[in-house]
Amino acid sequence: MKTYSCGAFVLALAGCAFSQQAPVPVEAEPHHHVVLKNDFVLVTHVVIPPGEATLYHTHSYDRAAVHLTNNVVTLQQLNQPESEQTPAKIGEISASTRKGDPLTHRVRNVGPGPFEVIDVEFLQRPAQASAAVAAPVAAENASARIYNWVLAPGASSPQHTHQRPYLIIAVNTVQLKMTAPDGKASTHEVKAGDFHWVDSTVTHTLANDGTTEGQIVELELK
């Protein structure tokens, strides 16, 4: 991107370091598309075309990420060297607790295809975590637990209960059948990056009614 190039004129006068871009909040970074913001979460769908980089942007909260593509990126914190090339895998989940200062960095797509990730910032860290754990925890931070359901065709999760609000995200296309304890079921086709915020107590099973493997991720507030 042009933003990063140091023109010969600028270089001659002041050098590259002085033309460094001022960091922006994550929701103002042009590759981070805000798809949901409420009192609890800021959800962005990040899309970085090959060869492009984000602006330097600042994360101020506990976060989690769900990868939607296979790719290779580099990461660079402000005033630090650029990282080694790091593979990002579809379906990979990460969670981090913000410790102390906000994180300011940029991400560069050095792979051959688009880089896509759902990034979730948790805006309210609980003073005390809820004891109500719905399922095996695949990843967690101080604000949320993450449940990962990889469902073969015809497979279903155990029945489980969400006592706390949660965000459900599809990693790929799934014929998702959700069944309540009374047997009432609904099936929807969900696609990569589709999500839904649920702010009520829910008991359900998740099943794959399709013919290909599906992955559904639930991020539940602690």
Closer by beta carbon to Zn ion, 12 or else 184: 184
Using alpha carbons, list the distances in angstroms from residue 83 to 74, 75, 133: 5, 5, 35
Closer by beta carbon to Zn ion, 26 or else 210: 26
What minimum distance in Å lies between the beta carbon of 7 and Zn ion? 26
Q: Which residue is nearest to Zn ion (CB)?
A: 218
User: Which residues of the chain form contacts with Zn ion (CB under 5 A)?
Assistant: 218
Closer by beta carbon to Zn ion, 15 or else 182: 182
What minimum distance in Å lies between the beta carbon of 127 and Zn ion? 25
What minimum distance in Å lies between the beta carbon of 96 and Zn ion? 11
Closer by beta carbon to Zn ion, 22 or else 127: 22
What minimum distance in Å lies between the beta carbon of 112 and Zn ion? 21
Closer by beta carbon to Zn ion, 140 or else 218: 218
Instruction: Please state the three-class secondary structure of the chain as a single string.
Output: CHHHCCCHHHHHHCCHHHHCCCCEEHHHCCCEEEEEECCCEEEEEEEECCCCECCCEEECCEEEEEECCCEEEEEEECCCCCCCCEEECCCCEEEECCCCCCEEEEEEECCCCCEEEEEEEECCCCCCCCCCCCCCCCEECCCEEEEEEEECCCCECCCEEECCCEEEEECCCEEEEEECCCCCEEEEEECCCCEEEECCCEEEEEEECCCCCEEEEEEEEC
What minimum distance in Å lies between the beta carbon of 38 and Zn ion? 19
What minimum distance in Å lies between the beta carbon of 145 and Zn ion? 11
Closer by beta carbon to Zn ion, 116 or else 218: 218
